[in-house]
Amino acid sequence: MTKTGKVIQSTGKWYKVSSGGKVYDCRIPGKFRLVKSSVTNPVAVGDNVDFTVADDGRGMIDTIHDRKNYIPRKATRSNKKLQILVANIDRAWVVQSIRQPNMKRGFIDRFLVACEAYEIPSGIIINKIDLADDGAQRELAAATETYKAIGYPVLHTTIHDKASVENLWKELRGKTSVFVGHSGVGKTSLINALDPSLDLTVGDISSYSEKGMHTTTYARLLSLDDQSYLVDTPGVKEFGLVQIEPYELSIYFPEMHEYRLNCKFNNCTHNHEPKCGVAEAFERGEIDAERYASYLNMLDGIQS
């Protein structure tokens, strides 16, 4: 019997597929891994698939439908392969905490670049704002101003403030969204606050490293209501960019669009070339210093 469904969880070897109100444990044939050898996971959470159900109730995925979009990153164990984090989403949210662990602007920027490159609307959630002292408040305000000025929505959240959770819920309603961030930033706690009935396991922060310990092991698609879905992903330590050439990188920085037109060379990398419109704008203070530093860091990684 052949059915059509959506992949709601991936464990690497088995996939949970939702179809007609039931969830089936499915595998993929070896040919998928051969044909899609450039990726570590031929099937991703969010994929729409056709599958055949065997007598024991388990399925074999036969077809992966064309994707509306997907978010890739460099596979952690291979420089030549990419990992697909999630497919077919309406908005991607990078989640960071202001403290415990501290906000990582570089991670935010890499994630936003990946979303820009793959034409996925994205936004920023800065969580645990109740932990912000005076210094963190200034950091929060500066980051918020920078990202909002270039067009990204920025939400401030804490599970201890019902209004902030309600504001987040308004952004998620009626969409398929994804949360991506380091372990310990509070993704799972936020999801529990959005829907306490899910009762997901929440981890602790290591008192030694102040880093989060993994509680979400595999990506999973959760239903918040009949029209709102959220993909919870495992904590991501790094976000390696893939399939972006050095001369393309600045295309994915919205604040550089106008200034790129003033560069002498069409393939300018805005690093060392003369008469560079982007570098000149930075020198005038028209491009945020931390964003430009992130750009140069990514450029170095792509070129190496």
* Residue extents of the structural domains in the chain: 2-66, 72-232, 246-303
pLDDT band at 211 (very low <50, low <70, confident <90, very high): very low
What is the pLDDT of the chain when averaged over all its residues? 91
Q: Are 184 and 203 in contact (CB under 8 A)?
A: yes
DSSP assigned state of 252: G
* Fold observed for domain 2-66: OB fold (Dihydrolipoamide Acetyltransferase, E2P) (2.40.50)
Asked if pLDDT for residue 37 goes beyond 50, the answer is yes
Asked if pLDDT for residue 214 goes beyond 60, the answer is no
Percentage of the chain with pLDDT > 90?
A: 78
Domain 72-232: give its CATH architecture: 3-Layer(aba) Sandwich (3.40)
Percentage of the chain with pLDDT > 70?
A: 92
Task: Tell me whether domains 2-66 and 246-303 share a fold.
Answer: no
State whether the Cα torsion 159-161-162-167 is positive or negative.
negative
Q: How far is CA 134 from CA 31, 137, 159, 211, in A?
A: 56, 5, 20, 22
Burial bucket for residue 200 (CB in 10 Å: 0-12, 13-18, 19+)? middle
Q: How far is CA 173 from CA 83, 132, 290, 293, 295, in A?
A: 27, 28, 32, 35, 33
pLDDT for 216: 53
pTM of the model: 0.91
Question: Reduced to 3 states, what is the DSSP secondary structure of residue 294?
Answer: helix
Average the pLDDT over 217-235 and give the result: 91
By DSSP bridging, strand 228-232 and strand 22-27 are unpaired
Q: What is the 3-state secondary structure (H, E, C) of 129-174?
A: HHHCCHHHHHHHHHHHHHHHHCCCCEEECCCCCHHHHHHHHHHHCC
- Higher pLDDT: 32 or 7? It is 7
Asked if pLDDT for residue 120 goes beyond 60, the answer is yes
What is the rounded CA–CA span in Å between residue 104 and residue 117?
Answer: 21
Task: Tell me how far the alpha carbon of residue 216 is from its chain's centroid.
Answer: 15
Q: Are 24 and 14 in contact (CB under 8 A)?
A: no
Reported as a single tens digit per residue, the pLDDT across 62-119 is: 999 999 999 998 887 666 688 899 999 999 999 999 999 999 999 999 999 999 999 9
Asked if pLDDT for residue 205 goes beyond 60, the answer is no
Asked if pLDDT for residue 210 goes beyond 50, the answer is no
What is the rounded CA–CA span in Å between residue 82 and residue 218?
Answer: 17
pLDDT for 207: 34
Q: Are 269 and 246 in contact (CB under 8 A)?
A: yes
Tell me the two tokens of residue 261.
Answer: 């037109």
- Higher pLDDT: 25 or 242? It is 25
| Range with lowest mean pLDDT among 163-167, 194-198, 212-216, 220-224 | 212-216
Domain 246-303: give its CATH architecture: Orthogonal Bundle (1.10)
